[in-house]
Amino acid sequence: MNGLISSTNIRTGLVIGIHKKELDFGRQVAANLSETDIKIIKIDQGLPQQESFNNRGYYYSTFHREIYLQLHQQVKNKIDLMIDLHTGINESGRCADIFCNDEYLLEKIKKTQNKNNVNISGDSQVIRFFKITKVSLKKDAASSNFPVCHTIIPASIWESAPYSYIGLEIYLQEPGNGRQADWSYGAMLVKRIINSFTLQK
């Protein structure tokens, strides 16, 4: 989405639970956003762990695609910004990855992060930024200001016209649902992404 949007008019959807094991973490982050008007989009029947598909990758990919296509139908024309929350593990410390196909928006988020580089726990928390591209667009790797990545998420989601898509992956130091500092960190990044979105021109 292009154009300046008043923060009071931004319709933001935070998607939690695409993967079943991430739902409880998402709920805790959402609880830390209770004072905002962000719409929480909870996936109650998310993807089980990939291992449970017993090497039947086709079925996993199909299930994954269908969840996102249903999500797209549910939210299109109802939100301006979709933030898709996930978790991973990084034993050396909390950090995050941010994914988007809009390089301009990525730049805004990066500037907002650098400007407000105050960490909740006082330690160094790396945030990496990636531009989502189609596999066929090899030229993007050479021309982009960010590392490029590809995704099995349908393009109708990450290059949607009705809304902007941001993938946000929070890396925890150990498996599980995280701790209060992790939830606060996730909520802080969600707020910064929204603030960055309002600065688009």
Domains of the chain and CATH, by start = 12-198 (3.40.630)
Q: Distance between CA 133 and CA 141 in Å, rounded?
A: 9
> What is the C-alpha to C-alpha distance for residues 23 and 42, in angstroms, rounded to an integer?
8
CA distance 35 to 19: 25
pLDDT at 9: 73
**Distance spanning both ends of the chain, measured CA to CA:** 10
Look at residue 109 in the predicted model and tell me its pLDDT.
94
Q: Is 80 exposed, middle or buried (0-12, 13-18, 19+ CB in 10 A)?
A: middle
pLDDT reported for residue 138: 60
DSSP state, 55? T
Q: Where are the beta strands (DSSP E) in 4-68?
A: 12-16, 39-42
d(CA 105, CA 100): 8
Cβ neighbour number for residue 60 with a 10 Å cutoff = 19
Q: What is the DSSP letter of 76?
A: T
Q: Which of 172, 26, 181 is nearest to 88 (CA)?
A: 172
Share of the chain residues as helix, strand and coil, in percent rounded to the nearest 5: 40, 20, 40
Residue 85: partners with Cβ closer than 8 Å, 6 or more residues away? 14, 15, 16, 22, 25, 26, 29, 168, 169, 170, 186, 190
Asked if residues 40 and 12 have their Cβ atoms less than 8 Å apart, the reply is: no
Which DSSP state fits 7?
Answer: T
Global pTM value: 0.88
Q: What is d(CA 128, CA 171) in angstroms, rounded to the nearest whole number?
A: 11
Q: What is the pLDDT along the chain (201 residues), one digit of tens a residue?
A: 333 334 447 899 999 999 999 999 999 999 999 888 999 999 998 988 655 556 666 788 888 999 999 999 999 999 999 999 999 999 989 999 999 999 999 999 999 888 876 554 444 568 999 999 987 666 655 667 899 999 999 999 999 999 999 999 999 999 999 999 999 999 999 999 999 998 664
